[in-house]
Amino acid sequence: LNSSKNLLFFYSFSLLSVMSLSQTLNNIALSIVLKGRQLLWTSLFTLVLLYVYAGWGFYYQRERFYEINGRDKPDHMCKSLLYCFLTMINNGLRWHAGIGLKTRSESAFLHLADFIHRFIYDLLFFWLMEGVMLHIVFGIILDSFGELRQAHYVIEKDIANNCFICN
């Protein structure tokens, strides 16, 4: 019974054969594969930025990272630098508002200095991760679509203007 569930999972990969039926889906996959190295380096750079940001959060904002799971005692998400880093990856990139939704806010408004520090922390995270890094990835993929379109145009022009039988 357990092995049949595993097989059902592998059967889902056969749905990828739909890509061979559509030139548009092939171009989407090709645009990601062609720029795979750039996307990999951009992802690595994003992880480095997240690590730097996790260090900032760990050393200066640690008490603000917690999650309430219905118990009396909240779960702190910044017990160590590794936990802080994993929290940045898991919660910071998935939420539209960045990491600001996962940090405690009531103590940030008691003092002006705390508020300014929290404001800069949240705004920089949103601006860097949601604004800059996400748009860099989109730009890389859109650029590869442009290269594919240009290559298709050159082939179409060659077919229309050159005689292949004449030599």
Supply the pLDDT for residue 11.
75
Tens digit of each residue's pLDDT, the chain (167 residues): 456 666 777 777 777 777 778 888 888 888 888 888 899 999 999 999 999 988 988 888 777 777 656 555 556 777 888 988 888 888 777 766 566 656 665 555 677 887 788 888 888 888 888 888 888 988 998 888 888 888 888 888 888 888 777 65
**CA–CA separation, 68 vs 47, rounded Å?**
26
Q: What's residue 67's pLDDT?
A: 65
Determine contact, residues 67/95, Cβ cutoff 8 Å: no
Measure the CA–CA gap between 103 and 98, rounded to whole angstroms.
10
20 contacts 26 by C-beta, under 8 angstroms? yes
Record the pTM: 0.72
Q: Are 64 and 103 in contact (CB under 8 A)?
A: yes
Q: Can you say whether residue 80 is alpha, beta or left, with left for phi > 0 and alpha for psi between -120 and 50 degrees? A: beta
Give the other-Cβ count within 10 Å of 121's Cβ. Answer: 21
Q: Contact at 8 Å (CB) between 153 and 124?
A: no
